[in-house]
Structure 1
Amino acid sequence: MSTKFKLTLISILTYCIFVFLAIFLGFLSPAKIGITWTVFWYIAAAGIVYYLWFKNLVFQKVIYYARQLKLTQTDLAKMLPNLKESQVVPDPNKTNLIAPLFNFPLQGLDILNTKLSKQATEQGIKPFK
């Protein structure tokens, strides 16, 4: 089972659990908050789940390529321009189940993904699955 499939399955199940809880607990009931806000929150939850799916997918790609290239957390930090002190760069040597949600932006992951994908292609490393 590929990482993309696993993350997709987890995301779909998470959204289904949210919908199930919203229906059976009634906290998004149109009778309580109105149809407009009910629809808004269902769409907002779907957007958040999609964002987290995408961020985790890119994070897993970065970690995969960093491990294949035998890079450290310091090496990854050197690849990022304008790194803030509060941002924690992912550590390829540590097991991470999910991407850092609040202390490392998607933009940083995207920069690392682009650079590491290019290096991996040049060195003949198998593509991430």
Structure 2
Amino acid sequence: MTHKLRWAIAAVILFVLFVLAAIYWGFLDPSKIGLEWTILWYFVAAGGAYYFYFKNVTYRAIIYYAHQLDYHYADLKAWVPNLRENQDVPNPDKPRWFSPFAKVPITATNIIGDKLLAEAKEKHIPLYR
């Protein structure tokens, strides 16, 4: 099973748990809040599950390519110079199990991921799966 598939399964499980909780406790009951709001919150939950999947796959790919190319935290941080004080980049020397939800901005992961992927292709490193 690939890493991407594991994260996809985790995102689907997260969404299903949300749906089951909404049904069990009735906090999204259309008769209480209206059909439009119920549909909206299910779409918001699905979007959140997709964001969870995308952010974690991108984060783990950065860690993978950084290890393969022998990059460290300082190298990655230099690629994204416009970070605010409360923002950071992935640390390949101390990887976390989950991507930090807000501390690592998606723009930083996109910039770093694109650069690492291009270099990995040049050096014929196997793709992150």
Normalising by the smaller structure, the TM-score range is over 0.9
Give % identity.
39
Q: In the TM superposition, what are the counterparts of 1:28-107 in structure 2 within 5 Å?
A: 28-107=28-107
RMSD: 1.0
Long gaps (5+) in structure 2: none
Alpha-carbon distance in structure 2 between the residues aligned to 1:12 and 1:24: 18
2:96 corresponds to which letter in structure 1? N
Instruction: Give the length in aligned residue pairs.
Output: 129
Alpha-carbon distance in structure 1 between the residues aligned to 2:91 and 2:49: 24
Q: Does 67-76 or 119-128 show the bigger shift?
A: 119-128
Alpha-carbon distance in structure 2 between the residues aligned to 1:95 and 1:89: 11
User: Alpha-carbon deviation of 1:103?
Assistant: 1.1
User: Alpha-carbon deviation of 1:89?
Assistant: 1.6
Long gaps (5+) in structure 1: none
Moved over 4 A (4+): none
Normalised by the size of structure 1, how large is the TM-score?
0.95
1:112 corresponds to which letter in structure 2? I
Normalised by the size of structure 2, how large is the TM-score?
0.95
